[in-house]
Amino acid sequence: MEYPFVSVVAGIRNEEKFIEECIESLLLLDYPEESYEIIIVDGMSTDKTRDLVQKYPVRLILNEKKNVAAARNLGVEHSHGDFVAFTDGDCKVDPLWLKTLVNEMKNAPDDVACVGGPNLIFDTDPVFGRVVGHAQETFLGSGGSAQSNNSTRKHYVGSLPNCNAMYKKNIIKEAGYFDERFVVGQDGDLNYRINKIGYKFLYIPEAKVLHHRRGTLKSFSVRMFKYGMWMAELFKKHGEFVRWYAFLPSIAIVFAVFSLIVSPIYPAPILVLLALTTLYFILVFVTSIQVIYKMKSKYGLFALLVIPVQHVTYGLGFLYSFANSLFLSKDKSISDV
């Protein structure tokens, strides 16, 4: 096997808890050490992250803009390889990760821009994080997206999460790099643009990355709200839905509010709402059984809470983004007058 030179990029900020585990897994890759480089792009961490990174034979670049999109762009700009592989500071890569990605890219058709694999869960993570991770592996939790679904078969997908992906560098440049306006969802935006210019994404189940799940119900809710906001921003940027299911939680929230308002006069909508809500919670219950099976633990029942919280906060974030844009446009119109 020939070993092309690959630049491995991790954009990080305040990752003192996990960054050593991440870097050590990258240093132990089953890949010739002269054929890859490790670039750590730090978003001006305020903890001990940079001190820890400097202990290792890796390149450290400072990212004054702090966000992940800027980190990835800096990584691409400073990379020496024709291929750029991305992971995150709270990830641990499998020893065969890079070799698997390179081999699959070499054997893939020319129109494949990116190969990547699953976003797996640490069994040692806190219970809440594991519930979230396993819930998002289900159809109800992820809509079947490669970001969370973790399929066991190789196939083409619409997008790949950048905690586990390797790109042809020239195609990142052709697509216009990562959009640094996006605090989250920047990989989805880039991948959408890459698709639009005719390239494909290939999911490889053997290219494994473990990804720590952290947080509490509060932090999870905030994160889902932000995802909803930025999915709306993607819609406004491109004029169409990047993911087919993105608008469903928002429609459900609007319909629920409408039904409650008109119920004293028109009872039909509230009856429809009750029927749909019943069906929804049946699906949530079935999904929680799936999570119990995946976790082999009764704590999978927490999915009964996690999934509705995910959908509601995501939907509210989506609506907030559009409402915010509406108010801003009104303010602009008034100021123009």
CATH number of the domain where residue 41 is located = 3.90.550.10
Reduce the secondary structure of 182-231 to three states and give it as a string.
CCCCHHHHHHHHHHHCCCEEEECCCCCEEECCCCCHHHHHHHHHHHHHHH
Nearest-angstrom CA–CA distance, 34 and 4: 10
**Quick one: 107 and 191 in the same domain?**
yes
What Cα–Cα distance (Å) separates residue 298 from each residue in 239, 254, 286, 304? 43, 34, 14, 12
Q: Domain span at residue 235?
A: 221-336
**Quick one: 48 and 172 in the same domain?**
yes
- Please say which residue of 195, 215, 235 terminates a domain: 215
Nearest-angstrom CA–CA distance, 149 and 222: 22
User: What's the CA angle centered on 231, arms 312 and 179, to 5 degrees?
Assistant: 150
Are the beta carbons of 120 and 92 closer than 8 angstroms? Answer: no
Report yes or no on 203 lying in a domain: yes
Report yes or no on 280 lying in a domain: yes
**Quick one: 199 and 294 in the same domain?**
no
For position 216, what pLDDT does the model report? 87
The phi and psi torsions of 189 (rounded to 5 degrees) equal -65, -50
Report yes or no on 1 lying in a domain: no
For position 75, what pLDDT does the model report? 97
- Please say which residue of 215, 236, 257 terminates a domain: 215
Report yes or no on 14 lying in a domain: yes
pTM of the model: 0.90
- Please say which residue of 215, 235, 255 terminates a domain: 215
For position 145, what pLDDT does the model report? 67
> Cα dihedral angle (303, 308, 310, 314), rounded to 10 degrees?
170
Closest CA to 285 of 269, 260, 309, 305: 305
**Quick one: 236 and 127 in the same domain?**
no
**Quick one: 204 and 253 in the same domain?**
no
Q: Which residues of the chain have pLDDT under 50?
A: 330-337
**Quick one: 23 and 134 in the same domain?**
yes
**Quick one: 205 and 242 in the same domain?**
no
* Alpha helices in 78-184, H assignment, sequence order: 97-107, 127-135, 139-142, 146-149, 169-175
Closest CA to 5 of 32, 35, 28: 35
**Quick one: 289 and 227 in the same domain?**
yes
**Quick one: 53 and 16 in the same domain?**
yes
For position 329, what pLDDT does the model report? 54
Are the beta carbons of 38 and 27 closer than 8 angstroms? Answer: yes
Both tokens of 72, joined, read 């990835």
Report yes or no on 37 lying in a domain: yes
**Quick one: 228 and 210 in the same domain?**
no
Report yes or no on 98 lying in a domain: yes
Report yes or no on 260 lying in a domain: yes
Nearest-angstrom CA–CA distance, 304 and 289: 9
**Quick one: 233 and 209 in the same domain?**
no
**Quick one: 167 and 34 in the same domain?**
yes
For position 72, what pLDDT does the model report? 98
Number of domains the chain is built from: 2
Both tokens of 242, joined, read 């990047």
